[in-house]
Amino acid sequence: MRVFKLIYMNALRHKLRTSLTILGIAVAIMAFGLLRTVVSAWYLGVTQAAPDRLITRSKNGITFTLPLAQKQAIERIPGVAAVSYSAWFGGFYKDPKDFFPQIAVEGVHGLSLYPEFIIDSAVLDVFDKEPNAAIVGKTTFDRFGWKIGDAVRLTGMIYPGNWDFVIRGVYTGRSEATDLSQFLFNFNYLDQRMQVKMPARAGQVGWWVIKIDDPAKSAAICSAVDKEFENSSDATLTETEAAFQQGFVAMAGTIVFSLQVISFLVIGVILLVAANTMAMTARERISEYAVLKTLGFNGKHIIGLIAGESLLIACLGGVVGMIFLIPLLHGVGVALKQWFPAFIIDPDTYPQAAATAVLVGILAAVFPAWRAIRVSIVNGLRRIG
């Protein structure tokens, strides 16, 4: 117990220096946690993808459409339990900068393939009967202050013109990770207008959503679907929903990689801050360590004192950083809601932050401890200040 008391008293000898070091480590831990959470949020669509859903898109790219006539051929493939389709609308509400995803789906049948969406049955009845009915995720619904029954006009960019919708329902999620930012409406409304305005674009979907009866057969079913259309002008590329989402993440691969690199550079910054403090501390106490040696203390005791003080400071900084990380992530999550619909702290973030603080405490003590035990008693006693 006396050793721990000595470590504690040593840490408080220079209160300002110790406080600033703890603050610096806390800020670095917060930055590390924030960056790791942003990376996790970017990959959330991949990690939350359903294993029994496949996505089929044009082999030429996501911007190319596929004919509705493909549906029957896909339904005949063994292992396929259900098939639906969707299309990216790509419009905006009032201001083009206010982004949120708008997706045309195959009515109630299309929504049934997404059990993670919780929608009232009465809302689904209206959605199927009313051509321009829309169901909106709670995040977007709250963001614009909409109410049930509100008329909403979207300006189309992929499908030009003004499109009028009526908000008929709000969907919530079965888990905190469910994307609640989408604006969903019936594909028939889109297709019927295309038949009048742009007949060449009618009967074209953005992608197919395929529910399979056994996730273990996903590779074989993907191959079978693509083989069905490989010699047509509308060749397809079928992949798991996770792989499909990974494709979107890959578009911002440089940004994600940069964030990952920065998060590890932050660890280096923490180490430099702590190491500088411990180096200054050890240099000032060389004569004290020499006195301890004359009293019979050996190298292990010296190492224990230096490493203990370093670990105490690093762990205090880690604890403070992790305490303030929660409100920080909440604030950032609210600010970035339109880009990261589900901004959730990864369960591994806190163990990683704690391990980082301990590792920094140990590494920061290595050089000062090595220097202290190598100094002879005579040279140590000659040292003043």
pLDDT value at position 50? 79
Query: Does residue 185 share a domain with residue 94?
Result: yes
Query: Does residue 182 share a domain with residue 293?
Result: no
Query: Does residue 309 share a domain with residue 185?
Result: no
Query: Does residue 187 share a domain with residue 121?
Result: yes
Q: Is residue 244 part of a domain?
A: no
Q: Is residue 240 part of a domain?
A: no
Torsion of CA 66, 70, 75, 79, to 10 degrees: -60
pLDDT value at position 286? 67
Query: Does residue 275 share a domain with residue 344?
Result: yes
Query: Does residue 259 share a domain with residue 149?
Result: no
pLDDT value at position 1? 53
- Structure token pair of residue 302: 């010296």
Q: Is residue 142 part of a domain?
A: yes
- Taking Cα atoms as reference points, which of 370, 272, 361 lies closest to residue 309? 361
Query: Does residue 97 share a domain with residue 213?
Result: yes
Beta-carbon neighbour count of residue 362 at 10 Å?
A: 14
pLDDT value at position 251? 53
How far apart are the C-alpha atoms of 66 and 204, rounded to whole Å?
5
Query: Does residue 217 share a domain with residue 71?
Result: yes
Q: Is residue 28 part of a domain?
A: yes
pLDDT value at position 202? 92
- Structure token pair of residue 21: 């070091």
How far apart are the C-alpha atoms of 192 and 195, rounded to whole Å?
5
pLDDT value at position 75? 93
Query: Does residue 40 share a domain with residue 12?
Result: yes
Query: Does residue 222 share a domain with residue 101?
Result: yes
- H or E element at residue 367: helix 349-374
Query: Does residue 64 share a domain with residue 40?
Result: no
- Taking Cα atoms as reference points, which of 301, 281, 276 lies closest to residue 291? 301
Look up residue 258 and give its DSSP letter: H
Q: Is residue 289 part of a domain?
A: yes
Last residue of a domain, one of 183, 203, 234: 234
Q: Is residue 17 part of a domain?
A: yes
List the domain range (segments joined by +) for residue 124: 60-234
Digit-by-digit pLDDT tens for the chain (385 residues) are: 566 777 767 667 778 888 888 888 888 888 888 887 777 776 665 566 778 999 999 998 888 999 999 999 999 999 999 999 999 998 999 888 888 899 999 999 999 999 999 999 999 999 988 999 999 999 899 989 999 999 999 999 899 999 999 999 999 988 877 888 899 999 999 999 999 999 989 999 999 999 999 999 999 999 999 999 988 889 999 998 887 776 655 555 566 667 667 777 777 777 777 777 777 776 766 676 677 777 777 777 777 777 778 888 888 888 898 888 888 877 777 766 666 666 667 777 788 888 888 888 888 778 777 777 776 676 666 655 5
Query: Does residue 317 share a domain with residue 230?
Result: no
Q: Is residue 39 part of a domain?
A: yes
Q: Is residue 311 part of a domain?
A: yes
State the total domains in the chain.
2
Distances (CA, A) of 76 to 107, 215, 275: 21, 18, 66
